[in-house]
Structure 1
């Protein structure tokens, strides 16, 4: 089946699955399920003729803006919207950042099951929204911080404790700023980034300098060295994972490099119970 016909078939299928009553359109007799083509076109602010052509596979390549409006008109989920763009343009839609709504109990149980390895959930602008006990003991007690301070960049640049535990704070800071810049851009988090960057540029000359160097990098994996106040030098291999169905979140896992440190950390966690 040609690509344009796959797009048309998908549009027609999604249109027929929409409940008109959910949109206040259930008052008239309908011979077919779902919305009428003219109703989708009206909601998407495009002509009925062109929308009909799209369903018939002869409307030409739609723009990203048109697909965005059609996705809204059909009330598509994030996964359905992505599929629509892949069919229509051969690429996923532009990222759109949304404020995180927290995590589910299931995701928290995943974090807890990873102990004794520290693990956190962070957003695209590096707000930490969940963590396990190992992260509290080995990294920082995020629960002791007010929600607006649970941000990795705020901690790194504005909290003296971050400098105490790093062996080469400046190198770590430069790396974090570059990785943060890339993550935030991927997520389309422009407005949220502006507010955070403005705050940090005013409060930290070091951040201001590093931000205006415009370096970028990836935080997918690497080695983290810290000086723990009780256990001394520790090294962790860290890996960042996307959370399926939650494009606003990443899971970051810190796995001790030395197997002996696993038991040392586990013993420290048992001590804190």
Structure 2
């Protein structure tokens, strides 16, 4: 039975690696597109070259042969294939190697250059989203406007998840009735390129389970193309802010984009500046909200408690 399970895992590993390789275009990793490519994405030898491993070894890995893979080698392959944390964990499990989920910084995810661009865009709110609406990095103004995608753990920093699960009274999204259907349609359009991928399937399943509104929109099957949108937000401290969202692709980061929010009018820009000037803004609605300092203090205390628990467990 154990040998059968190992064989099944190797078969799944082979298919997973091939599917990840197929989604990475040569230009995504700084390579020329070339001509007469018979298959989409990178070639095996290109992955091996970029990861610094032997072509034969990587070919055997992708063929599901019973070979050993070290943590360092899998890390290199995961980097080339641009795997997110969930996908990386899946890769490790299929390879039979323990996976430790470590905190990942914005710098490690998007790089110093992209972080510099985000900060240079202040006071315009700007962030890096992937195709699932995960917030991979953001600038100061974005975090002031939408703190609930920055004061939570990285795996919870998702725009759609927050919009569909935060109570309506605490949501700042005014024109959600217009924009949420479009955002879900955009998600489904991107999902077409990722059907069957564990990270995508678990994300969609989680939203369907936790949000009947999302489940209904998802069931409609609507798809939509990207485009410039006007989004309206209301913060109890400053009033309504109208923003036009535009997105730009990022070289070397497939399925990622910089999303920039531009004030529609001077009054909107002024309200952003007033919001930026508040030292300790309220998170949530006036009834259920708490000052940002309280939220951050609770997070820090929880993190310390978790560290203490892990230390005690290690001693035991």
Band of TM-score, shorter chain = 0.5 to 0.7
* Aligned counterparts of 1:104 and 1:72: Cα–Cα separation in 2: 21
Q: 2:83 — aligned with what?
A: 98
- Is the alpha carbon distance of 1:181 and 1:97 closer, same or farther for their aligned partners in structure 2, counting shifts above 3 Å? farther
Q: 2:205 — aligned with what?
A: 198
* Aligned counterparts of 2:181 and 2:230: Cα–Cα separation in 1: 15
* Aligned counterparts of 2:204 and 2:272: Cα–Cα separation in 1: 35
Q: 1:71 — aligned with what?
A: 46
- Is 2:221 aligned against 1:214? yes
1:159 to 147, 150, 166: 166
User: CA shift at 1:164, angstroms?
Assistant: 3.1
What does residue range 16-165 of structure 1 map to in structure 2 within 5 Å?
Answer: 63-64=38-39, 68-72=43-47, 75=49, 98-99=83-84, 102-160=109-167, 164-165=171-172
TM-score scaled by length of structure 1: 0.62
What does residue range 256-271 of structure 1 map to in structure 2 within 5 Å?
Answer: 256-271=263-278
Q: Mark the runs of 5 or more structure 2 residues left unpaired by the alignment.
A: 1-35, 52-80, 86-107, 281-316
What does residue range 226-241 of structure 1 map to in structure 2 within 5 Å?
Answer: 226-241=233-248
Decide whether the 8 Å contact of 1:115 with 1:134 is kept in 2.
Answer: yes
Q: Which has the larger radius of gyration?
A: 1
Decide whether the 8 Å contact of 1:125 with 1:192 is kept in 2.
Answer: no
Decide whether the 8 Å contact of 2:194 with 2:200 is kept in 1.
Answer: no
- Is the alpha carbon distance of 1:245 and 1:209 closer, same or farther for their aligned partners in structure 2, counting shifts above 3 Å? same
Decide whether the 8 Å contact of 2:250 with 2:257 is kept in 1.
Answer: yes
- Is the alpha carbon distance of 1:156 and 1:219 closer, same or farther for their aligned partners in structure 2, counting shifts above 3 Å? farther
User: CA shift at 1:70, angstroms?
Assistant: 4.6
Q: C-alpha deviations, 1:124-159, integer Å up to 9, x for none?
A: 221101111111222334221121210112111111
Q: What's the secondary structure of 2:171's corresponding residue? A: helix
Q: Mark the runs of 5 or more structure 1 residues left unpaired by the alignment.
A: 1-60, 78-95
Q: 2:295 — aligned with what?
A: none
Q: 1:255 — aligned with what?
A: 262
Decide whether the 8 Å contact of 1:122 with 1:251 is kept in 2.
Answer: yes
